[in-house]
Structure 1
Amino acid sequence: MSPTVLLADDEPLVRTGLRALLEQQGIPVVGEAADGAEVLPAVRRTRPDVVLMDVRMPGTDGIEATRRLLGSLDDPPKVLVVTTFDNDDYVHEALLAGASGFLLKRARKEEIAHAVRTVAAGESLLFPEAIRRLVTARPPGGRYARAAKALTRREAEVLRLVARGLSNQDIATELVISLETVKTHVGNVFGKLGAANRSHAVVIAYESGVVRPGHLAGQ
């Protein structure tokens, strides 16, 4: 069964284009919002699996709309932020707010459909290089340093592998441990960092200094 989508963008032509593109790929669009303030009521009405969220909207932007969604609903939809620039500060803040990933507006229709299906299945849309570019201008430490210090050596090691884009199964193979053990470590990492998903955890990893640009294991 295909996931359902709600489109949040202040430009009607963009919404029309995305609707046509997704429906061509067999993904139904169940609602639209022209402003971030409209997103939560629209989600409550239509119960989509995924929200394609423009981060730059007048009034309430996509970052605040993402926070409201994840903070107000017991079972919120996944959020994919849509942007023009892959080094957008808005994207960085949206990932910290709990978005599962981001897409460029110039992405091909197949890429957009794949992204929607990926996050709807409960996986994060993780682009390690893109996330690295988002955070390289920010000095490590700051608001997440204390939380990162609570990680055990093994949990920090697992987080670095997540930052390389490895799946749980890949991490299990790399560390020669069971998949269930990896899942336990990942869950502990999320809990200690307050991370909503893998993308969120990776941004925190860079911001806290657990992962440093250019010094990931295996690179």
Structure 2
Amino acid sequence: MTRVLVVDDQFLIRAGLVGLFDAAPGFETVGQAADGEEAVRLAATTRPDVILMDIRMPGMNGIEATERILADAAAPVPRVLVLTTFDLDEYVYGALRAGASGFLLKDSGPERLLAAVAAVGGGDALFAPTVTRRLVEAFARQARSDPGAPPPCDLDALTSREVEVLKLTARGLSNLDIADRLCISEATVKTHLNRTMNKLDLSSRAQAVVVAYETGLVTPGP
């Protein structure tokens, strides 16, 4: 059972999401919040597996709420899936830096939404490859143009295989696709990714993808 906390400042959207999860087998809505402050409080008391987080909200926005929740959470730490309209939500870049595990377009259908939440809850693939490329490449361009941005991580600690897996992950391949490409098992791919995130002190697959672009391991483009 995947326990979900729904965060959105629009009542109709929030109610629709809650209704969807409550009706779907394998999901349980443990709370709903209309802003970031309420989300922080509910995350601490309800201990959800996944938080479906809106970005633009009055008061504390989704980025601040994500930072607070992940900084204060006890293990097992909830995974944050950001809701975005993409073209308008430049703040989603900050959410990835804050530790969000991925993002979902608000115009996604019910089946895709449920699959995305289940994937995030299980720590597996987080978003469609085409969306990953568009968003993270835009983020990488923005990061390089910001002189105040922190320096990128050092990849010297990674093995050659870990670098290969990170590069393919950043290109938007799923764990299964990476396994097929490298002729290894899907479990081995997950092990390499987990070791990579531990070595680079990253909390999510999304942050690993961002690092791949920031370090120049992968460059924006086709």
Give the TM-score category using the shorter length: 0.7 to 0.9
Distance of 1:51 and 1:186 partners within structure 2: 22
Q: Does residue 192 in structure 1 map to residue 199 in structure 2?
A: yes
Which segment is superposed worse, 85-94 or 154-163? Answer: 85-94
Q: CA deviation at 1:71?
A: 1.1
TM-score w.r.t. the length of structure 1 is 0.85
* DSSP-derived class of the 1:94 partner: helix
Q: Which amino acid aligns with 2:93?
A: H
**Deviation sequence 1:9-59 (CA, Å, 0-9, x none):** 122222112112222323322211111111122122222221111011121
Computed over aligned residues only, the root mean square deviation of the Cα atoms, in angstroms, reads: 2.4
- Identity percentage over the alignment? 50
Distance of 2:40 and 2:3 partners within structure 1: 16
- Please name the residue that 1:37 is paired with: 37
Distance of 1:18 and 1:178 partners within structure 2: 35
- Please name the residue that 2:166 is paired with: 159
Distance of 1:165 and 1:51 partners within structure 2: 23
Q: What are structure 1's unaligned runs of at least 5 residues?
A: none
Distance of 2:23 and 2:192 partners within structure 1: 39
- Please name the residue that 1:20 is paired with: 19
Change (3 A) 1:11 1:129: same
Distance of 2:19 and 2:127 partners within structure 1: 25
- Please name the residue that 1:9 is paired with: 8
Distance of 2:175 and 2:190 partners within structure 1: 7
* Kept after mapping to 2: 8 A contact 1:8/1:15: yes
- Equivalence map 1:69-88=2 (5 Å): 69-74=69-74, 75-85=76-86, 88=89
Distance of 2:188 and 2:108 partners within structure 1: 36
Q: Does residue 106 in structure 1 map to residue 113 in structure 2?
A: no
TM-score w.r.t. the length of structure 2 is 0.84
* Kept after mapping to 2: 8 A contact 1:79/1:101: yes
